[in-house]
Structure 1
């Protein structure tokens, strides 16, 4: 008993210990590590899925098995997106640092469970999906609190730099995950999950011992159960509907005509509408909708959501373009195309790394509007120019365009995040951070669903004829060729995405063996499938780029309307609501809604 009392007293003493002048850098490094780790794990399975499914003895392209593929691909993102607002609000009530620490611990437990996954076959696939959900819950706590912790810890005139660095870590992690997944899965699929374990353990201990609750947490706040339940269920059902809209239904190449998908979309929208009504009538709501009266907050989140739709599925589309067409045409075997696709995407990362922290620093001095608006315009121009590239492009032009896409993304993200987080009252930063991250993550999932559907529609209109004529010309019997040509185009798309030669998965083994060796080599070679798919694929991806361009332009307009710049060159007194140092955050008064722009 005495030991337990001393432990509690020691914990309370540590939590109440004043922070030093370097505390903000501790907060920045730890939250950046957390966001980096969570972002790496959001993309690391994309490249390693073939090795993972092979390791548990399952064919994700077999009939009835594509659901496992979709949930391994998107389950982590769905769970994270639906819990961010709830976690942000709970953190405002019980402490942002406390729940951030809990998130680090949950994420680490999820990583350990994934590493030790005991099952194989369908049982193993279900275990992996459930353990990814655990990881997603931990990531939800990390994402929803990192920006709030930094906003609490940093004075206003350094906040853009800090949040910009944090944003860079999020983008960096998504690209590192692609490369790391390819390298680790080459040796053992379990290493893909083991790599997060030591980082999670160190980060959890570090966060527990070093982070402090520098914001004032108001007591006697009630949990808004009605708001939490309607939002979580509504968002989950809506995103599940979008996820299954990618799968074929009946004779349709996509599932948007599936009654279950339509029902999920309708039910999700109804529940979210009920959530809005509940929040407007609750005494202590989960999320204060009156924050949207702050122009900076509203404009920043609208532009962030549109930007996420524009670029959220971009990585998937470019990876498919590289893996399914460009890399095979340049002599790369399908089993290594996932790794090389990540490597050839590095210019996107470099552009963001160069501009993310710099634009955050400059926005601290000159405001967010100029940089955020210009960043979206740059991305819109790049999307337009991507339409000029042929399927088998000259890499130097591709690299230049995605470099400037990353540059524009970095120019937008850091200032926008800083301005959104700096516009809200100090006691609402947790839920504001959760809402901001929810808009970003939900936009990415919507983007993936819409982009995949556009690509699939383009393939469905032209691929059957292309496949039928191409296969018969290669010696495949007409009956078999026509049957393959009318398979859902997602089969070919998912095969290319997973790094399989689609012809090897679509052609029956008996038919393939009956063909002359020259025809077999032609069908299973590097150029047959890419040449067949290139024209219909480009029709679909052009639609994606035009849509992304439109989203970027609307986001630029929303960003432009965020309000006028107010100088932050000089620290503002704590009584105005702007925190000058980490110590003053806890006593800072709520920001006035009229002071919306920084």
Structure 2
């Protein structure tokens, strides 16, 4: 089968002073940082964005806009990274990677210049976030392969450790940066991507050099690309809509379109696997899964992504919607402070990532990757045991060690996966790895949100009835508020909004209540106090599942075998 030809690596970049491998590391690290910061910066900034485009989170249908703003970027990257990794193997990894920087930057400009408000503005943002996801996927699919090409096997753990720290730390840094920028202006969230993206695009085109040339006769696996993209899109989009209310139910899992999307998507993925065993030049080399280090590393990464993916959202809802208001913070200030209070998570990851990458070059990935997942499982149990209105020092310690666990796992696992594959298939292997990671993140949000909403649905209406009735709110208004879908109330809290005033005003009773009662109902603490008990019911299920998944990943990680580096 024709494969990409590997050429001699340039020793230095043009100009002769900087070794080429360090130029590659610096640019791909910037690219990974940008792609992952952008994925998380929106999470913390959604309150400012919704206020900026004048979108009410409690209005019917607006939860869908919120979910697509959150998940659309990750869905696109999950769908496209394998195809773009394969195209990088065929036509040049640097070419696809550099073009991804340019696409990402251009779409960031469009996002920063959002011309409309309301639903039109939301659709503009979602559309360009999807385009931005294409650029992010082009970078994510090829950056690891480019880095693996540039560094000898004995240094890959260190290089990939730095790169992975940038990638995963970027998802934490985005939380803090989003809080700071959203406190200034919501458009600044996108302008920062424009500036960094423009620098990265110039740098990539100036410094990076192609190290693989296309051979004649290589063809695109169109049917494989089509069935994989359609299957993943159907499954992940169905999960997105499954979170939303449907037909009087608190969630949409009975929606015929959701059921059809899940079933049809799974069928298409089975068809994809059949196609890949029949075509002469498949985009997805299923034979790679015969390599023990490859399949075990990717399976462990999937379990880790599902366990960790929903963590950020749970923590942000916990902080912004409950803990910070209970401790006297204004709703409009909660995004910034939520980012600051999550810093121990970032510090733990940044401290452990490069060290574990360096040590895994000498001692292998198994002990670090497995130990990291076990540490994460223990911290999930710790988060489960503390009260909703926790003492911050114990919360910070748990966050720190959760970040350490992520850092111990990430770089060694990625190095083991990339070392295990032939040089000519590093692009598609990098894409497969990214697909497992990104699909796990989207799946995690669907699963965790569903479990959280299920927990809220069983206890939040009762808490609302008793709390509002105790304040003398008339029965019909109490019933109307208690009937609001819990997902809408949860996202209102997530967006830094107290929904009680809006809902009672819509019911026509707010102006008829005594001033002292109105002051109590619309205070910082009333709704968060009502939400805290039901939220904990959902949180228990979420963190139990996260701990189980992290433990399952640790078990799989034990089966990766010893140190294995594919012949080059």
Match of 2:281 among 276, 280, 284: 284
CA distance in 2, matches of 1:17, 1:173: 29
Q: Does 1:409 align with 2:406?
A: yes
**Aligned counterpart, 2:4:** none
Matching residue of 1:167: 164
Gaps of 5+ in 1: 1-14, 569-575, 578-588, 590-598
Q: For 1:3-402, list aligned pairs within 5 A.
A: 18-20=10-12, 22-402=19-399
**For residues 158 and 534 of structure 2, what CA distance do their matches in structure 1 show?**
43
Shift of 1:53: 2.4
- Aligned-partner Cα distance in 2 for 1:222–1:376: 40
Whole-angstrom CA distance in 2 between matches of 1:537 and 1:17: 54
Q: Which stretch of the first structure deviates more once superposed, 381-390 or 266-275?
A: 381-390
- Partners of 1:508 and 1:70 in 2: CA distance: 26
Partner of 1:584: none
Q: 1:542 aligns with which of 532, 537, 540?
A: 540
For the 8 Å contact 2:305–2:437, the answer to whether it is kept is yes
Paired position in structure 1 for 2:522: 524
Are 2:547 and 1:533 equivalent residues in the alignment?
Answer: no
Aligned mates of 2:501, 2:91 — CA distance in 1: 55
TM-score in terms of structure 2 length: 0.96
Task: Report what 1:428 is aligned to.
Answer: 425
Aligned to 2:3: none
Q: Which of the numbers 560, 563, 568 marks the counterpart of 2:561?
A: 563
**RMSD (Å) for aligned C-alpha atoms:** 1.5
C-alpha separation in 2, matches of 1:507 and 1:350: 43
**C-alpha separation between the residues in 1 aligned to 2:250 and 2:9?**
60
Match in the other structure for 1:6:
none
Match of 1:5 in 2: none
CA 1:282/1:266 → structure 2, altered by over 3 Å: closer, same or farther? same
Structure 2: which 5+ runs fail to align? Answer: 1-6, 13-17
Q: How many angstroms apart in 2 are the aligned matches of 1:504 and 1:224? A: 56
Indicate if the aligned counterparts of 2:224 and 2:276 stay in contact, CA closer than 8 A: yes
Rounded Cα–Cα distance in structure 2 between residues aligned with 1:120 and 1:318: 29
Deviating more after overlay: 443-452 vs 246-255: 246-255
SS at match of 1:508: helix
The 3 A distance-change label for structure 1 pair 220 and 60 is farther
State the distance in 2 between where 1:374 and 1:44 align.
29
**Counterpart-to-counterpart distance in 1, 2:439 and 2:385:** 29
Distance in 1, Cα, partners of 2:218 & 2:95:
16
1:469 Cα deviation from its structure 2 partner: 0.9
Higher mean alpha-carbon deviation, 186-195 vs 341-350, is at: 186-195
C-alpha deviations, 1:254-302, integer Å up to 9, x for none?
Answer: 1111111111100110100100000011110011000000000000000
Q: Cα–Cα, structure 1 residues 396 and 560, in superposed 2: closer, same or farther, change >3 Å?
A: same
Alpha-carbon distance between aligned partners in 2 of 1:240 and 1:252, rounded to the nearest angstrom? 19
Tell me the distance in 2 between the aligned counterparts of 1:185 and 1:390.
29
Secondary structure at 2:243's aligned position in 1? coil
Partner of 1:571: none
Q: Is the 8 A contact 1:93 1:219 kept in 2?
A: no
Per-residue deviation, 1:216: 5.0
Mapped to 1, the partners of 2:161 and 2:256 lie a distance apart of: 43
Distance 1:197 1:402 in 2: 31
How many residues are matched? 556
Do the aligned partners of 1:104 and 1:200 also contact (CA within 8 Å) in 2?
yes
Distance in 2, matches of 1:160 and 1:89, equals 23
Report if the CA contact (8 A) 2:160-2:415 is conserved: yes
Cα distance in 2 for residues equivalent to 1:17 and 1:249 = 56
SS for the counterpart of 1:57 is coil
Q: Following TM superposition, by how much is the alpha carbon of 1:371 offset from its aligned partner in structure 2, in angstroms?
A: 0.5
* Deviation by residue 1:357-385 (Cα, 9 ceiling, x = unmatched): 00000000000001001111111111112
| CA distance, structure 2, for counterparts of residue 35 and residue 506 of structure 1 | 42
* Change beyond 3 A, Cα 1:54–1:385: closer
Shift of 1:187: 2.4
Q: Distance in 2 between matches of 1:327 and 1:497?
A: 11
Contact 1:143 1:437 in 2 (8 A): yes
Determine the C-alpha separation between the residues in 2 that align with 1:290 and 1:349.
36
Contact kept, 8 Å, 1:216 with 1:427, in 2: the verdict is no
Task: Give the CA deviation at 1:17.
Answer: 9.0
The alignment partner of 1:435 has SS state of helix
Instruction: Tell me which stretches of 4 or more aligned residues in structure 1 moved more than 6 Å.
Output: none
Per-residue displacement from partner, 1:449-486 (whole Å, max 9, x unpaired)? 00001110001001111100101111211111112112
Out of 505, 511, 514, the position equivalent to 1:513 is 511
Paired with 2:10 and 2:543, the residues of 1 have a C-alpha distance of 51
Displacement of 1:50: 2.3
Contact 1:492-1:502 at 8 Å conserved across structures: yes
TM-score of the two chains, using structure 1 as the length reference: 0.91
1:580 is aligned to: none
What is the rounded CA distance, in whole Å, between the counterparts of 2:502 and 2:165 in structure 1? 38
Question: Is 1:451 the counterpart of 2:448 in the alignment?
Answer: yes
